[in-house]
Amino acid sequence: MTTSRLHAALVDRAAMQWSALGVTLQAPRERAVVDTEALVGLTAAVGAADARVWEGAIAWCGRHGRSVNSARLKRVVAEMGIAADALAEFGSAARRAGAPPWPVTGGAERSNPRGESRDDLVVVRPTRDAARLLWSLRATFGVNARADIVANLLARPGSLLTVLELAHLTRFTKRNAAVALEDLVLSGVVERLGLGAVGRFRLRDRHGLLRWLDLLDSIDYPDWVARYTIGLAVSAFLGTTTLSPRVRAIEAREVVTRLRPAIERAGLQGPDLRVTGPAFGEAFDAWVDQLAGRLEHVTQQPERSCSGC
């Protein structure tokens, strides 16, 4: 297994998701919810491999970069292990196109930040689908933890989640999640069951919210941060290793062990660690092939809304 398929799958997934947000790219339709900050981090890491993805992402950020939560972006890119220079390059280009400054990028601001904007690369038509769920909710609830909490609750029907669980899912601090939940309970969007530290939260009227959003009942919202963390780390390993089969198997095992928390968060199965010796290298390569396949996969869903549900 070479790095080419996995790296290409990461670039193609970025193209799918930017296309879903309105960038004029020829790509399959993304059916799952797009995590904006994870997509920015992924593009900073691999977008330069495809000029159409890079330029389109820059154009989108120049026009809609205010929809990116800079505090969450900082936490997400740190978890994904994005190199500081790669993020600085993308952030600087986005800033020149008109995006707001992100604290993770640094650098001086230009006096004419929109000088390199390519508005023709972004055509956002009025539409509501699962891919734009987080973006739509941020337009409604603000670019803060409230929108992310509602998106995660919508994608988990029947779940009763604690403040800590929602902070873990959204990558906001526990305090930010708690404050956002207080606001959502006050507004009537979310209801709280139980008191104190054992309190759990759910949407008060999930079906009503889905009707308003004109979405299907089934919403796919993978943990993109975890999936991209795995994909980028494994791709980096595959791109640098020139070791003997035995040593490569040892190094691959260390990579998988280090990624175990991300693998669990992503809901994936890692390679069988009971396999020993050079044979683990073969098991690892088979797992990487499956990982690339998951990134390439396009969820098939019926083309209808839930307006009558």
Short-list 184, 228, 204, 185, CA closest to 79: 228
Give every CB contact of residue 188 below 8 A, 6+ residues apart in sequence.
Answer: 204
Give every CB contact of residue 213 below 8 A, 6+ residues apart in sequence.
Answer: 128, 133, 136
The DSSP bridge partners found for residue 193 are 200
The model's pTM = 0.90
The pLDDT profile of the chain, 309 residues, written as one tens digit per residue, is: 456 899 999 999 999 999 999 999 989 989 999 999 999 999 999 999 999 999 999 999 999 999 999 999 999 999 999 999 999 999 999 999 999 988 875 544 443 344 455 678 988 887 778 999 999 999 999 999 999 999 999 999 989 999 999 999 999 999 999 999 999 999 999 999 987 667 899 999 999 999 999 998 889 999 999 999 999 999 999 987 667 888 999 999 999 999 999 999 999 999 999 999 999 999 999 999 999 999 988 755 544 434 333
